[in-house]
């Protein structure tokens, strides 16, 4: 630690810290534009000037290293005049767009011009104009407003790993551009909107929609993947208008995937807002009483073993708990939360979660990725892997992949092979990377659903576990066996036991004629034509997607923005989301629908409030009432290998189109546009 004095206040900061960090430790506010805590230091805006005792001129505090006994002054006349001059230069060419700029009310330049600028301008010449750049359908550019802070360049290069932005020319002719006019190819491009300190980069879908002070803010959790990104929903009236990230250093830092950010315009489209009942082959609107009566009549004389339920990928834990309880009261053990058919051993929790924690990636010193493409399945988590890769220096954090030979993970990774045979070669020490894992102090293995959704998924999971135990990745102080899920509801579903009972049928068994009545709770991600024509289907959900099209009765549920709910992310962290808006029409919270129906069939569930339901969840699975902690164990007993032997077939990606992975995405015009540009460009060109 180094002792310095800031405006007479003694502070201790870590050696190697900057003067700006020392000032913040002393509680002093230092204005800045180019400096960002998670980006490299550029030192080009000069707004963070401070005075150092013994110095002949103010210094840029963001890049000025501290020394023992240094005295720093943040509010002298010299500093005030210097900051005023810097602000005057910044405003020379900046347009007076504040009344029409979407950054209004959230603009760092506005705030700092008010706090540190002058009340007049001495500049009389014409302002320069800069051509706007095309960055795709998500980020809108007004480059005349750009102050060349280069945050966007550093983010795209360092965090996103897609170096598509840069500067051309020099001096007053400098422009930030993407060189070749094309859409940005990062799944994290929306974060450019957040880090831009002015209105040069704003949200294209949100343009001219609302002002920040008009919006009600609600904390929530992103359910577009299994990372559990912390978000804030901004709503006005009955609609969520935008979604922005919320800082959580343990999960997402301050980043958010493009899908989680821009899917918002799908919230109100293709919504189910009333019950429907199929009469003479056609769906007709109905009342709740009629819908419940129709289901109750169909369930009469149907034995429990002929009733089944499937939970979807975006369900909250409360609704899954209620669904499981309802199935148990009906005498059914046919329940499953694995639409994709993934295979897990659920006898121990560390067999199916990301044990080291997402932040634990930064502690690992070698990484093996098996059957997953993190860039598509969990972009925010992939950014954490890249962060670790950059922190260690090229070659300092060795990464290898099995499967996905053509993927661009945004960091250097060696592709060892295409399928499970490579795991056997690693276990036998036939590949050089086996020694890399053995010599690492904290090796990590990430297993994805490209490996687990196969018939031999359990055998592959066991092989990965055995390899982890062999190389020392499972120890009392480190658990490097990690499963990367793709569904936000999956870990909570497994925790609550939404898997078939002793004689129960899984998803495949239920779809292939194993049940007479099938209850779909937001389940759309499978081929509904597999459901036999004689099966009576109840669809409970919020969007009119594949499941609703096949249903005999539709019960309108609520979207994650319209209800309080509990979600467990891939690392097993339990997080709570809150209601941002009210649901449309007659839609109701999913657990309330199940509770109301249970009373109609005379099998009343034992809770009337969400607090009572959550108490039931804690009794069923204590993790819902416990603080999260990283898993560590000395028990290397492997998971069950299952009944299917490991084959040599190569792994295949589980996501065909990143932008259209669930019903809300498919209802979103923005996501449809992105799919056309990034995934199916040939089809768009033909149109």
Task: Please answer whether residues 468 and 460 qualify as being in contact, where contact means their C-beta atoms are separated by less than 8 angstroms.
Answer: no
10-residue stretch averages of pLDDT, the chain, 687 residues long: 94 93 94 95 93 92 93 94 93 92 94 88 88 96 96 97 94 90 95 97 96 97 97 97 97 97 97 96 96 96 96 97 97 96 95 96 96 96 97 90 91 94 94 96 97 96 96 94 97 97 93 95 93 96 96 97 97 97 97 97 96 97 93 89 92 95 97 94 58
Q: CA 465, CA 55: separation in Å to the nearest integer?
A: 59
Topology at the third CATH level for domain 2-92: Ubiquitin-like (UB roll) (3.10.20)
**What pTM was computed for the model?**
0.95
pLDDT value of residue 243: 98
Pairing of strands 49-52, 59-60: antiparallel
pLDDT value of residue 405: 85
pLDDT value of residue 682: 63
Q: CA 644, CA 458: separation in Å to the nearest integer?
A: 8
Q: Residue 564, SS3?
A: coil
For the record, the structure tokens of 46 come out as 């000069």
For the record, the structure tokens of 368 come out as 């093996």
Q: Residue 408, SS3?
A: coil
From-to residues of CATH 3.40.228.10 in the chain:
350-487+629-653
From-to residues of CATH 3.10.20.740 in the chain:
2-92
How distant is the alpha carbon of residue 138 from its chain centre? 17
Task: Please answer whether residues 199 and 104 qualify as being in contact, where contact means their C-beta atoms are separated by less than 8 angstroms.
Answer: yes
List Cα–Cα distances, 315 to 242, 380, 463, 579, 645, in angstroms: 21, 21, 30, 14, 32
The architecture CATH gives domain 122-266: 2-Layer Sandwich (3.30)
pLDDT value of residue 296: 97
Buried b (16+ CB within 10 A) or exposed e, 87-97: bbebbebbeeb
From-to residues of CATH 3.30.70.20 in the chain:
122-266
Host H or E run for residue 294: helix 288-299
Contacts of 594 (CB under 8 A, 6+ apart): 319, 322, 323, 325, 326, 540, 605
HSE-up (13 A, CA, CB side) for residue 672: 9
Concatenating the DSSP letter of every residue in 489-528 gives: THHHHHHTT-S--TT---HHHIIIII-SEEEEES--SS-G
Buried b (16+ CB within 10 A) or exposed e, 403-414: bbeebebbbebe
In the structure, how many helices (H) and strands (E) does the chain have? 22, 28
Class of domain 350-487+629-653: alpha beta
């Amino acid at each position: 630690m180094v002792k310095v004095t800031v405006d007479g206040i003694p502070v201790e900061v870590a050696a190697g810290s900057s003067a700006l960090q020392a000032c913040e430790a002393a509680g002093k506010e230092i204005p800045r534009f180019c400096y960002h805590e998670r980006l490299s230091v550029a030192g080009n805006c000069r707004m963070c000037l401070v005075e150092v005792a013994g110095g002949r001129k103010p210094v840029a505090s963001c890049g000025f290293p501290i020394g023992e006994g240094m005295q720093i002054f943040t509010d002298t006349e010299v500093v005030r005049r210097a900051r005023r001059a810097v602000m005057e230069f910044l405003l020379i060419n900046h347009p007076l767009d504040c009344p029409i700029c979407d950054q209004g009310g959230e603009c760092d330049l506005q705030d700092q011009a008010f706090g540190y600028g002058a009340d007049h301008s001495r500049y009389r010449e014409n302002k320069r104009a800069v051509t706007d750049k095309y960055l795709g359908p998500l980020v809108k550019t007004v480059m005349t407003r750009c102050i060349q802070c280069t945050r966007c360049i550093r983010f795209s290069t360092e965090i996103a790993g897609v170096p598509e932005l840069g500067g051309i020319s020099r001096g007053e002719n400098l422009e930030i551009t993407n060189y070749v006019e094309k859409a940005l190819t990062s799944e994290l491009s929306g974060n450019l909107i957040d880090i831009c300190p002015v209105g040069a980069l704003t949200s294209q879908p949100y343009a001219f929609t609302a002002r920040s002070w008009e919006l009600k803010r609600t904390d929530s959790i992103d359910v577009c993947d299994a990372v559990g990104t912390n978000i804030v929903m901004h709503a006005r009236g009955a609609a969520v208008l935008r979604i922005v990230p919320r800082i959580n250093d343990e999960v997402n830092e301050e980043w958010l995937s493009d899908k989680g950010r821009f899917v918002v315009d799908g919230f109100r489209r293709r919504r189910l807002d009333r019950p429907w009942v199929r009469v003479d082959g056609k769906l007709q609107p109905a009342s709740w009483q009629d819908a419940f009566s129709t289901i109750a009549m169909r369930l009469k004389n149907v034995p429990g073993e002929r009733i089944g339920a499937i939970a979807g990928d975006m369900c909250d834990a409360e609704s899954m708990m209620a669904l499981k309880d309802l199935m148990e009261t009906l005498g059914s053990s046919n329940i499953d939360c694995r639409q994709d058919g993934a295979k897990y051993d659920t006898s121990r929790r560390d067999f199916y979660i990301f044990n080291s924690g997402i932040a634990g990636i930064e502690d690992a010193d070698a990484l093996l990725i098996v059957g997953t493409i993190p860039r598509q399945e969990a972009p925010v988590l992939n950014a954490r892997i890249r962060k670790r890769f950059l922190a260690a220096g090229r070659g300092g954090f060795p990464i290898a992949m099995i499967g996905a030979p053509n993927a661009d993970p945004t960091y250097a990774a060696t592709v060892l092979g295409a399928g499970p045979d490579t795991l056997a070669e690693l276990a036998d020490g036939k590949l050089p990377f086996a020694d890399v894992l053995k010599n690492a102090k904290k090796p990590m293995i990430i297993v994805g659903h490209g490996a687990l959704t196969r018939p031999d998924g359990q055998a592959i999971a066991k092989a990965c576990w055995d390899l982890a135990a062999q190389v020392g990745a499972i120890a009392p102080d480190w658990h490097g066996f990690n499963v990367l899920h793709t569904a936000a509801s999956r870990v909570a579903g497994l925790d609550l036991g939404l898997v078939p009972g002793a004689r129960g049928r899984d998803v495949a068994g239920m779809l292939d004629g194993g049940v007479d009545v099938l209850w779909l709770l937001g389940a759309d991600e499978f081929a509904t034509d597999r459901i036999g024509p004689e099966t009576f289907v109840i669809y409970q959900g919020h969007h009119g997607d594949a499941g609703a099209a096949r249903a005999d009765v539709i019960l309108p549920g609520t979207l994650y923005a319209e209800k309080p709910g509990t979600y467990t992310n891939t690392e097993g962290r339990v997080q709570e989301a809150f209601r941002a808006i009210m649901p449309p029409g007659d839609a109701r919270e999913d657990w309330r629908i199940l509770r109301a129906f249970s009373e109609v069939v005379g099998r009343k569930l034992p809770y009337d409030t969400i607090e009572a339901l959550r108490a039931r969840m804690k009794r069923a699975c204590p993790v819902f009432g416990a603080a999260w902690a990283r898993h560590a164990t000395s028990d290397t007993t492997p998971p069950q290998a299952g009944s299917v032997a490991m084959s040599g077939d190569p792994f295949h990606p589980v996501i065909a189109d990143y932008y259209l992975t669930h019903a809300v995405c498919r209802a979103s015009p923005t996501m449809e546009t992105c799919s056309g540009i990034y995934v199916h460009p040939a089809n768009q060109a033909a149109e």
